[in-house]
Amino acid sequence: MFILTSLVFNDGVKKSSYSTCVNNIVSNILQSSTLVPTPVGMERLKSVQHVIVVLSGKGGVGKSTVAVQLALALRAKGKKVGLLDVDLCGPSIPKMFNLEGQSIHQCSEGWLPVYVDPEQKLGVMSIAFLLENEEEAVIWRGPKKTAMIRQFLSDVHWQDTEYLIIDTPPGTSDEHISVMENLRAFNPDGAILVTTPQAVAVGDVRRELTFCRKTGIPVIGIIENMSGYMCPHCSECTNIFSSGGGEALAKEAGVQFLGCVPVTKELAAGVSAGQSATQLPSVPAIEKVADRLIALDKDLP
């Protein structure tokens, strides 16, 4: 059973009426006459200027790490950023910010994201905040996943967020379809696809490209993650897998190649030590991607 024990009103007082099973909340949504988000609820998304979906065709390519680093890079450039984790079965974003056990606050405008900084420049929303403990397994079929994602998209008050980064699970599942269908009316900026250099991962991204075209979301570009190992002493980058797969795919598909992100000792050691992502060194390649996003016009190809 998933107990929603951490929903708090903005006066800081927990309301016992909100100590409710998450399954009951979702069931209430499913009992509505339609699965299309209500205009009143989806109005909250209109305050978000740019929506970017981070996708990968395969697990283990560092997609969530890229999403987190991109959000941090945009925040460092003075932007107000939201990070929505729609990986319902494997939410990892809260752990990457050391936000486990944090509370979701309720205000008159909706659910407030959990902020990683006192300035409230980077807010996070994830199903992990609704679970009794991090070991709970979310075992849901498609309709419940769709309902939960609709709840996230319609009920979270992002407070004039400039960039909303949506981190998705790997593949092309119910979560992806729900996100794309609900976002279509808001003309999202597009998707960033994350791959590693290996042929298997690149092949999966080809299918992700097809998914984007079929669902009508523009592809901003492809990032090749884990592209070599950068020596901490001489900064020379050595290929530990194959190389160039992401760039070749971008050229083949006619989309932008956004750059290579190497494995660095500092980043790997920090993650292993359980450091918050806010304490980890910035990634120059991701900073360049953030610069490109800021420079992009809303009317993307």
Residue closest to 48 by CA, chosen among 142, 127, 149, 157: 157
Distance in angstroms (rounded) separating the CA atoms of residues 174 and 150: 12
What are the two backbone dihedrals, phi and then psi, of residue 91, each rounded to the nearest 5 degrees? -70, 125
Q: Between the CA of residue 8 and those of 4, 44, 84, 110, 289, what are the distances in Å? A: 10, 20, 19, 11, 36
How many residues in total does the chain contain? 301
21 annotated as belonging to a binding site for a ligand: no
Largest CA distance in the chain: 62
DSSP label of 136: -
59 annotated as belonging to a binding site for a ligand: yes
63 annotated as belonging to a binding site for a ligand: yes
User: What residues have CB less than 8 Å from 290, skipping those under 6 apart?
Assistant: 70, 73, 74, 76, 77
231 annotated as belonging to a binding site for a ligand: yes
Please compute, for residue 237, the number of CA atoms within 13 A of its CA located in the half-sphere on the CB side: 12
Residue 254, strand partner residues: none
Distance in angstroms (rounded) separating the CA atoms of residues 248 and 257: 9
60 annotated as belonging to a binding site for a ligand: yes
Residue closest to 140 by CA, chosen among 157, 131, 64: 131
178 annotated as belonging to a binding site for a ligand: no
190 annotated as belonging to a binding site for a ligand: no
Query: Nearest-5° angle of CA 286, CA 288, CA 289?
Result: 65
Distance in angstroms (rounded) separating the CA atoms of residues 175 and 102: 24
Written as six digits, the tokens of 81 are 């950023």
Distance in angstroms (rounded) separating the CA atoms of residues 113 and 120: 9
Distance in angstroms (rounded) separating the CA atoms of residues 223 and 52: 14
64 annotated as belonging to a binding site for a ligand: yes
Written as six digits, the tokens of 89 are 């079965």
Binding site members: 57-64, 231, 234
Annotated binding site for [4Fe-4S] cluster: 231, 234
Binding site membership for ATP: which residues?
57-64
